[in-house]
Amino acid sequence: MNEKKVLTRRDFVQKSALGAAALTVPTVIPSRAFGAADRVTVAVLGVNGRGTNHIEGYGKLEGVEVVALCDPDLVVLGNRAGEFEKKYGRKVKQYQDLRKLYLDKSIDAVSIATPNHWHSLAAIWAMQAGKDVYVEKPGSHNIFEGRKMVEAAAKYDRIVQHGIQLRSSAAVQEAIKHLRDGLIGRVYMARGLVFRWRDDVGRKGPSPVPEGLDYDLWTGPAEMLPFSRDYVHYNWHWHWNYGNGDIGNQGTHETDLCMWGLDVGLPEVISAGGGKFVHDDAKVTPDVLSCQFMYPKERKMIEFEVRPWITNEENGVSVGNIFYGTEGYLVVYNYDRYESFLGRDKKPGPSRKAGGDHYANFIEAVRKHDKSVLNAPVETAHLSSALSHLGNIAYRTGRTLKFDPVKEKFIGDDEADRMLTRNYRNPYIVPEKV
């Protein structure tokens, strides 16, 4: 006897070629719907550095409760949990393994402040577990996994905010409106600047794994290397295995604003040059990096520069963006201030200093379950991170690259294409089908 198989919604999502990218029906039902006054429970992942700011940010919001902390280093985790109890007068759950945390149905959202190589996979696993996500910059460690994160957000209908605080700045939002409205004429170029003091980190070499650290879990999707204080904890930023250099660290704020202000996506031609000219230390990524991203069809371009040590500011900017137009230029200083200068005599134009609360914006979107509320949705996480990755790939290959922004592939360059992804380490694999 032949039985007719019933096609379930799960079967449809899994079998449809468009399911991962186009469907917005969740395969995991949220634990509950939110009302305006509902409590939102949050877990913070990665609490050695940036995660402490996440804890503080959510701690200021009404109706939001940090209920769990997660870190593969039990010493760090215990210290943060102790500090949390002292400050807030209550205990917080502690998880060493994020996979166990994701099984906790009482947690509504996760806030990811891990090293870069974990960002996308931690976000994808969270979405698959039915949780909304705030993910630090850069949203991805490579271009492939950034696209998979976008697909996962669509497939599982999750709220995903990228940790680019300037997107919630009232001043920066006003600056973008001026650019759109023609304050400085036709905007043809954006220049992103990251001039940060980066000290010599020395060369410590391999050493035993310290007690309390699950080094396999810390390494996660990356290639397993002997443990070293050269990259655990903070200095992983300067090693390709885990980080993306300063263009993919501080620089992702500015790559995001360059693209936002110019109103462009990914470029068609990329070139870069630089190197290590200051410190002879364990850092692998370049101290100095200059990139050009060209948009020939739009007649626009992005310049991006990273410098590590004693240097001059540009128009008072050490970290920020400068936009050039046919009638003037506009300067954004760090995250919350802009000035404009008009005409050949550089007459001062509109200016403003005003911040915003990026965590509050995320929580509002979570409560409303409305992606349109987000100031920095997942698509911007992918694109701004990808721009950093493209600059790094041009630097590492040492040549000008041509890129197809629709297919997200290089044109006639297999070596560069291989750098669009990585060899993932089982079981920490970003899947082709999310």
The pLDDT tens digits of the residues spanning 82-130 come to 999 999 999 999 999 999 999 999 999 999 999 999 999 999 999 999 9
Distance of CA 197 to CAs 250, 273, 288, 310, 338, Å?
A: 12, 20, 12, 8, 23
Residue 214 belongs to some domain of the structure: no
What pLDDT, on the 0 to 100 scale, is given for residue 38? 84
Residue 137 belongs to some domain of the structure: yes
Domain harbouring 328, CATH code: 3.30.360.10
3-state SS, 188-231, equals: EEEEEEEECCCCCCCCCCECCCCCCECHHHHHCCCCCCCCECCC
Do 299 and 398 sit in the same domain of this protein? yes
Residue 318 belongs to some domain of the structure: yes
What pLDDT, on the 0 to 100 scale, is given for residue 27? 40
Do 80 and 149 sit in the same domain of this protein? yes
DSSP secondary structure letters along 75-92: HHHHHHHHHHHHHHSS--
Q: How many CB atoms lie within 10 A of CB 434?
A: 23
Residue from 173, 212, 210 nearest 354 by CA? 173
User: pLDDT confidence of 425, banded at 50, 70, 90?
Assistant: very high
Count CA atoms within 13 Å of residue 85 on its CB side. Answer: 9
Residue 336 belongs to some domain of the structure: yes
Contacts for 18 with CB less than 8 Å, ≥ 6 apart: none
Distance of CA 154 to CAs 13, 17, 25, 140, 259, Å?
A: 11, 13, 8, 17, 22
Residue 220 belongs to some domain of the structure: no
The pLDDT tens digits of the residues spanning 401-420 come to 999 999 999 999 999 999 99
Domain harbouring 48, CATH code: 3.40.50.720
Do 317 and 333 sit in the same domain of this protein? yes
Averaged pLDDT of the chain: 93
Residue 46 belongs to some domain of the structure: yes
Do 235 and 102 sit in the same domain of this protein? no
CA angle, 121 as apex, 266 and 73 as ends, to 5°?
A: 125
Do 346 and 372 sit in the same domain of this protein? no
Do 396 and 274 sit in the same domain of this protein? yes
Residue 370 belongs to some domain of the structure: yes
Do 307 and 281 sit in the same domain of this protein? yes
What pLDDT, on the 0 to 100 scale, is given for residue 103? 98
Residue 210 belongs to some domain of the structure: no
Do 350 and 369 sit in the same domain of this protein? no
User: pLDDT confidence of 6, banded at 50, 70, 90?
Assistant: very low
The pLDDT tens digits of the residues spanning 327-370 come to 999 999 999 999 999 999 999 999 999 999 999 999 999 999 99
Contacts for 305 with CB less than 8 Å, ≥ 6 apart: 191, 192, 193, 194, 195, 289, 290, 291
User: pLDDT confidence of 23, banded at 50, 70, 90?
Assistant: very low
Do 314 and 406 sit in the same domain of this protein? yes
What is the domain extent for residue 340?
167-202+231-356+387-418
Total number of domains constituting the chain: 2
Do 371 and 406 sit in the same domain of this protein? no
Residue 131 has φ and ψ, to the nearest 5°, of: -110, 145
Q: Which residue has the higher pLDDT, 119 or 33?
A: 119
User: pLDDT confidence of 185, banded at 50, 70, 90?
Assistant: very high
Beta strands in 296-387 (DSSP E): 300-307, 319-325, 328-333, 337-342, 347-353
The pLDDT tens digits of the residues spanning 358-380 come to 999 999 999 999 999 999 999 99
Residue from 220, 168, 166 nearest 46 by CA? 220
Residue 28 has pLDDT above 70, yes or no: no
Share of the chain above pLDDT 70, in %: 91
The pLDDT tens digits of the residues spanning 257-314 come to 999 999 999 999 999 999 999 999 999 999 999 999 999 999 999 999 999 999 999 9
Do 35 and 134 sit in the same domain of this protein? yes
Do 276 and 341 sit in the same domain of this protein? yes
Residue from 76, 119, 115, 121 nearest 95 by CA? 76
